[in-house]
């Protein structure tokens, strides 16, 4: 019962925060939409001719990057949650949360679920706008993508949590942008398929292949076309478990980074 109330409280707070902060809602959508309408428009014919699964025919570039932009929404959301964790810690509301008589892992997981819920909402709004822009997936794809969005959202959120346990001050967030978000996004299959990366650099191709963000994007891409990519699913799930385990360790005052930093 306590668990349930705490979960509802945390998720409710996060959703409420999201809905009431209209600027945050709009800005979360503007980023992928600019990529879709401006960036992709310039690269319409750039994909060349190979057809790679799950596609069965030729596609425009904007169709290709749509799943990648869904992933981008979740990546930025994960980082945003990590930012808010650091903020909470600085403001002291984290202390309130951490002293409640529930296991720490549960509190972190609740926080994670809350962030994921928000990112899933954002992705669906984005997909609706993309559909109006004639980027249409099969109807069942919109349903199939829900569980994959939850898993990828959890994985990227866990990564955010892990990072937030490292970040001492709010100002350091710029470093996270440069060292985590951009390399993760650009060295992935979000913008270019693997075969295209392979043409330019074997190293880049390998990096993109092992990038968990790539796997999350591929999981979303296949699901949007009603297909299940087992390899991407296992990879994303494992990445989530590893990130989450380290995040829980990171937030443990007796073992984690907190002791060294003396924060919380």
Take residue 193 and report the two structure tokens written for it. 């398929």
**Region of 39-47, 102-110, 152-160, 175-183 interacting with another protein (CB under 8 A):** 39-47
Exposed (0-12), middle (13-18) or buried (19+): which is 207, by Cβ within 10 Å?
middle
**Residue 59 binds another protein, judged by CB under 8 A:** yes
**Residue 60 binds another protein, judged by CB under 8 A:** yes
**Residue 57 binds another protein, judged by CB under 8 A:** yes
Contacts of 26 (CB under 8 A, 6+ apart): none
Q: Which of 56, 132, 171, 260 binds another protein (CB under 8 A)?
A: 56
User: Are the C-beta atoms of residues 36 and 133 closer than 8 Å to each other?
Assistant: yes
CB of 193 to another protein, least distance (A): 16
**Region of 29-37, 43-51, 161-169, 233-241 interacting with another protein (CB under 8 A):** 43-51
Q: Which of 2, 44, 95, 131 binds another protein (CB under 8 A)?
A: 44
CB of 239 to another protein, least distance (A): 33
Q: Give the residue among 143, 118, 152 at the shortest CA–CA distance from 237.
A: 152
**Region of 50-58, 199-207, 212-220, 226-234 interacting with another protein (CB under 8 A):** 50-58
**Residue 58 binds another protein, judged by CB under 8 A:** yes
For residue 54, say if its preceding peptide bond is cis, omega within 30 degrees of 0. Answer: yes
**Residue 171 binds another protein, judged by CB under 8 A:** no
**Region of 42-50, 92-100, 169-177, 256-264 interacting with another protein (CB under 8 A):** 42-50
**Residue 238 binds another protein, judged by CB under 8 A:** no
Q: How far is CA 117 from the centre of its chain?
A: 11
Residues binding another protein: number (CB under 8 A)? 11
User: Are the C-beta atoms of residues 64 and 36 closer than 8 Å to each other?
Assistant: no
* Burial profile 112-142: b = 16 or more Cβ within 10 angstroms, e = fewer: bbbbbbbbbbbbbebbeebeeeebebeeebb
Given the rule CB under 8 A, which residues bind another protein?
A: 41, 44-45, 49, 51, 56-60, 136
């Amino acid at each position: 019962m306590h668990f349930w109330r705490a979960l509802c409280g945390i998720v409710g707070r996060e959703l409420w925060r999201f809905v009431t902060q209209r600027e945050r809602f709009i800005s979360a959508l503007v980023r992928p939409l600019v990529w879709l309408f401006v960036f992709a428009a310039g690269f319409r014919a750039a994909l060349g001719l190979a057809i790679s699964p799950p596609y069965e025919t030729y596609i425009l570039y904007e169709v290709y990057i749509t799943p990648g932009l869904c992933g981008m929404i979740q990546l930025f959301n994960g980082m945003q949650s990590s930012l808010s964790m650091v903020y909470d810690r600085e403001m002291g509301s984290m202390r309130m949360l951490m002293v409640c008589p529930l296991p720490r892992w549960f509190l972190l997981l609740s926080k994670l679920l809350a962030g994921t819920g928000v990112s899933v909402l954002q992705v669906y709004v984005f997909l609706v706008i993309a559909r109006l822009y004639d980027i249409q997936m099969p109807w069942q794809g919109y349903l199939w993508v829900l569980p994959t969005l939850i898993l990828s959202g959890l994985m990227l959120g866990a990564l955010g949590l892990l990072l937030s346990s490292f970040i001492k001050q709010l100002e350091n967030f710029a470093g996270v942008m440069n060292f985590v978000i951009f390399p993760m996004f650009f060295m992935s299959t979000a913008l270019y398929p693997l075969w295209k990366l392979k043409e330019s650099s074997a190293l880049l191709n390998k990096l993109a292949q092992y990038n968990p963000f790539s796997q999350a994007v591929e999981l979303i891409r296949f699901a949007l076309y009603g297909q299940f990519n087992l390899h991407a699913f296992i990879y994303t799930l494992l990445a989530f478990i590893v990130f989450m385990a380290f995040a829980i360790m990171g937030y443990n005052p007796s073992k984690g980074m907190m002791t060294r930093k003396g924060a919380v």
